[in-house]
Structure 1
């Protein structure tokens, strides 16, 4: 099955779509129409039906947008690490309170969580 590659860029109010394999371009007003417009261009120029080829869209965003996306990914990864650290600290807090002789219900009340959550945390210690 043949694969076509459509390079997509924003230019003013339009999305410009260039299909490399046929060296032709088209445009779309909305991003949701990009794939349809690319497929229509391919089918007009090449003739295959919609199920006879693959289409790969390559969206080229401004470098500032890519920079923001990269920073967001770093922050998400950092947040996941911090969340794991917080969960570990909660488990230790539960373990210490249970070791002091508090019930799971009391531990939950003291920590502001349900006794079911205390039970879950206690099982992972």
Structure 2
């Protein structure tokens, strides 16, 4: 099965679509129509049906958008690390209170969480 690659860029109000393998272009008004327009172009120019080829879209974004995406990924990873640290601190707090002789219900009341949550934290450590 042949694979076609469509390079997609934004130009004003339109998405420009260039299919490399056939060296032809088309356009779409909305991004949701890009794959269909590329497929139509391939099928017309190559006399194929949609089950006879694969289409890969390569969307070219402005560098500033890529920068925002990269920063968002860094922040997501940092948030995951911080969430794991917070969970570890919650577990440590529960363990300390239980070691002081508090019941799970008392520990929950003191920490402002349900005793079920205290039970979960106690079991996960």
Aligned length: 125
1:1-125 mapped onto 2 (5 Å cutoff): 1-125=1-125
Unpaired stretches in structure 1, ≥5 consecutive residues: none
CA distance in 1, matches of 2:17, 2:90: 51
Separation in 2 of the partners of 1:119 and 1:47?
Answer: 64
Q: 2:78, 2:120 → 1: CA distance? A: 24
Q: Counterparts of 1:27 and 1:6 in 2: how far apart (Å)?
A: 11
**RMSD (CA atoms):** 0.4
* TM-score between both structures, scaled by the size of structure 1: 0.99
What SS is found at the alignment partner of 2:51? coil
**1-side partners of 2:12 and 2:59: how far apart?**
15
1-structure distance, mates of 2:96, 2:59: 52
TM-superposed deviation, 1:67: 0.2
Deviations 1:7-34 (A, max 9, x none): 0000000000000000000000000000
Q: TM-score, normalised by structure 2?
A: 0.99
- Taking the aligned partners of 1:2 and 1:115, their CA distance within structure 2 comes to 59
**How far apart, in 2, do the equivalents of 1:54 and 1:44 lie?**
15
Once residues 59 and 16 of structure 2 are traced to their aligned partners in structure 1, the CA distance between those partners, rounded to angstroms, is 10
- SS for the counterpart of 1:101 is coil
Q: In the aligned structure 1, how far is the partner of 2:67 from the partner of 2:51?
A: 36
2:64 is paired with a residue whose SS is: helix
Unpaired stretches in structure 2, ≥5 consecutive residues? none
Deviation for aligned residue 1:124: 1.3
